[in-house]
Chain A
């Protein structure tokens, strides 16, 4: 009964989303209409939340007469995995996706009270239209509420790979990021439809973009961390199509965050910024398509279903195609970027954008090339993997890092050349340290690490110099930028060092034997049987000569019989020690993999700093004034509606 109610609530939400779209686009959008739309935005998210709660309830109570529950849960699961199993499969995770979309819509209705009528109407209308499409997809092809006649007594099980803290938090954060770009997308569509793409438009769009970008950053970092400890062999990025699917909107979003700065402060790059706003969310949709259609082979994709894939492709074509047609018709055609000099801040941001989009193009080409190849040759298969991406992407990332290092110094319109001298000094110091630090710590020189460390130090030291120079003018927006760039430097050093100086050893060990790796001795002290809530495990206890204990497990899950490797990791700021159990060998010994991974934590730490920087920038005073529900002064009214003059703000 509760499940049927949930289903009904979701259908109601679909109708509300449609109504929201209708009101947003086809009414005068004043007075009562505006209030109706705001109410609908809230009611819609309430309705989906009800539907979602009903599904969670079915999971918690193990109601296996619901097909989706029977496929993805099991009575032996601990309660918290039963809750997170709600979004462990295609249907439930897409319900979460629609919930997140509705949540963003409600947030816009809440915070956007100061937006002019036509903009808010069309933003909410676009979001409503998008979510109507998502909900239709859910209800027509992927309903998680479907009942099973003569349901089983026991459910299949949640894939053991997903029975993990990482899965509880990774998808929701990732979706908040993905779908958050729908807000920027809707602002772009609304701006195009209203013919209002000015600095004020950029100022409205920026905070939403930053927050979405921050969530996506954390979501990606969590996914990488999860793969690192759950897949059992120490890698943290595989250039899998599904990873790329989350990385591409991130690259576009990063470009957008920067280009919005130029549009807000200088009124330039307008068409380009609008294009990026459309692109970032389009790439999110493309990602959803890749993960859910099965058209591209990936380890992380859901069970393939052509019918669903085709439906998403239609959504993609309608949403993106529609926005791009509007773009072609209405985007400002005047080249609005002729008001700055070479090496000005505008120029640096242009460089940033072009490089990011280039990097994005490389990832897109590499990800889709095998598909295009197969289509053209009529069934021949090929693969594009890490070697290709490393060759093509890494050099670009380094050029980007160099631009990033100099950029904070640059000033709007024109940069006094003397300022660059600072970056030069910092560069010399950074190169010196980049060579010396790894040499002193490891005794070897590796070009990749030298370049990464030098670039990281260069970025950081220029930031410090600039911080001193701008003392007294430390706005939150500025500090956010500094923090995010510093995070980039941290990630960069982490990636460079861990990829160059990691050590790995596959070895055969019996209890009592030990192995050495990079100066650390690992003693296989004990092997014990461990009983988990829904699995049994062999646990290998390893002790290093420095006294660190590592517990690596080989788990066998009762429901499906799958075997999982759970690595034993001693996490550290400077390095991770990592042990994974392989197979027992006939003579009683075990295959054991030992990894020594210096600075691997920095990869994710840097991502967290970047996200924190993005959020800090949003807290800047000027955005807070924009969102507060205050009586508009004549001044702020003019700011909120500069294009058409004073418009009634209800």
Chain B
């Protein structure tokens, strides 16, 4: 490998690091909130939103400049008395579904939201069927014989 290729790779790594700077360079800003409830609401909201610039971080934890701007926007909307839903819509309009860690329920996310419920129903069904079983069948198979021999030996 030539030195120039190394430089290319170094640049690529540097670009990756540029994304990764979100990490570690923690996101601590010290807004004064009128009351602890507002501060808690602010933190709860930030955890719901994904920083559009970083690889996978919430607005709460990202140190990227865009995250700083978006935090300021969230705070401004809170001060203007906007509801949680309105703040969500504000970000979604500008950055798309990508920024919502809590995917909205719509046709394209039905499978995401309902498949756990569906699978749970299947599991419950199987368990109910198994639980209602009485009278164990006789241990007649060759296989269970072998098991018993094993257990007797051990």
Contact = CB atoms under 8 A, between A and B. Distances in A.
A and B touch in the complex (CB under 8 A): yes
Interface string B19-61: 0111111111111100000010001000110100011111011
Nearest to A344: B136
Interface in B50-87: 50, 54-58, 60-61
Interface string A364-396: 011001000100010011111111100010001
Interface string A382-418: 1111111000100010000000000000000110000
B97 A642 contact: no
A293 to B, nearest CB: 14
A267 B101 contact: no
Contacts of B112: 365-366, 369, 384, 388
Nearest to B139: A339
A531 interface: no
Given A267-B147, A373-B108, A592-B30, 5 more contacts: A365-B111, A383-B98, A388-B101, A562-B17, A591-B28
Interface stretch (A29-37, A122-130, A228-236, A451-459): A228-236
Nearest to A589: B30
B125 to A, nearest CB: 10
Interface in A571-612: 580-583, 585, 591-593
B99 A383 contact: yes
A350 interface: yes
B127 A152 contact: no
A146 B147 contact: no
A110 interface: no
8 contacts: A199-B146, A199-B147, A233-B61, A299-B20, A338-B137, A358-B116, A373-B108, A564-B25
Given A199-B150, A342-B132, A365-B112, A150 B30 contact: no
Contact of A365 (B54, B98, B116): B116
Given A200-B150, A638-B153, A639-B153, A580 B133 contact: no
Interface stretch (A176-184, A310-318, A320-328, A502-510): A502-510
A648 interface: no
A339 to B, nearest CB: 5
A267 B127 CA distance: 20
A560 interface: yes
Interface of B: 1-3, 6, 9-10, 12-13, 16-17, 20-32, 39, 43, 47-48, 50, 54-58, 60-61, 96-103, 108-109, 111-112, 115-116, 119-120, 123, 126-127, 130-137, 139, 143-144, 146-147, 149-151, 153-154
Contact of A582 (B26, B130, B153): B26
Contacts of B2: 149-150
A186 interface: no
B116 A233 contact: no
A351 interface: yes
A267 B116 contact: no
A154 B28 CA distance: 34
A563 to B, nearest CB: 5
B3 to A, nearest CB: 4
A159 to B, nearest CB: 7
A161 B24 contact: yes
B24 A160 contact: yes
Nearest to A200: B150
Contact of B56 (A241, A361, A377, A638): A241
Contacts of A414: 136
A635 interface: yes
A387 B60 contact: no
A347 B130 contact: yes
Interface of A: 67, 70-71, 146-152, 156, 159-161, 198-200, 203, 230-233, 235, 240-241, 265-267, 297-299, 301, 303, 336, 338-343, 347, 350-351, 354-355, 358, 361-362, 365-366, 369, 373, 377, 380-388, 392, 396, 413-414, 504-508, 560, 562-565, 580-583, 585, 591-593, 622, 635-636, 638-639, 642-643
Closest 7 CB pairs of A and B: A582-B28, A385-B101, A342-B131, A387-B102, A508-B30, A232-B26, A267-B147
B98 A382 contact: yes
B60 to A, nearest CB: 7
A355 B13 CA distance: 42
Contacts of B22: 299
Given A339-B137, A642-B146, A381 B98 contact: yes
Contacts of B135: 341
Contacts of B16: 303
A506 B146 contact: no
B134 A148 contact: no
A13 to B, nearest CB: 23
Contacts of B29: 506, 582-583, 591
A297 B56 contact: yes
A67 B24 contact: no
A508 B28 CA distance: 10
B10 A156 contact: yes
A399 B22 CA distance: 37
Contacts of B99: 383
Nearest to B61: A233
Contacts of A265: 147, 151
Contacts of B139: 339
A282 B115 CA distance: 22
Contacts of B120: 358, 396
B1 A565 contact: no
A156 B13 contact: yes
Contacts of B130: 342, 347, 350
A254 to B, nearest CB: 16
A267 B153 contact: no
Given A297-B55, A366-B112, A580-B26, A382 B21 contact: no
B151 to A, nearest CB: 7
Contacts of B24: 160-161, 230-232, 562-565
Contacts of A387: 48, 101-102
Contacts of A241: 56
Nearest to B57: A299
A580 B119 CA distance: 42
A377 B127 CA distance: 37
A384 B61 contact: no
A522 to B, nearest CB: 14
B63 to A, nearest CB: 8
Given A199-B150, A298-B55, A303-B12, A342 B27 contact: no
Contacts of B23: 161, 231, 299
B39 to A, nearest CB: 7
A639 B150 contact: yes
A636 B152 CA distance: 12
Contact of B101 (A200, A380, A383, A591): A383
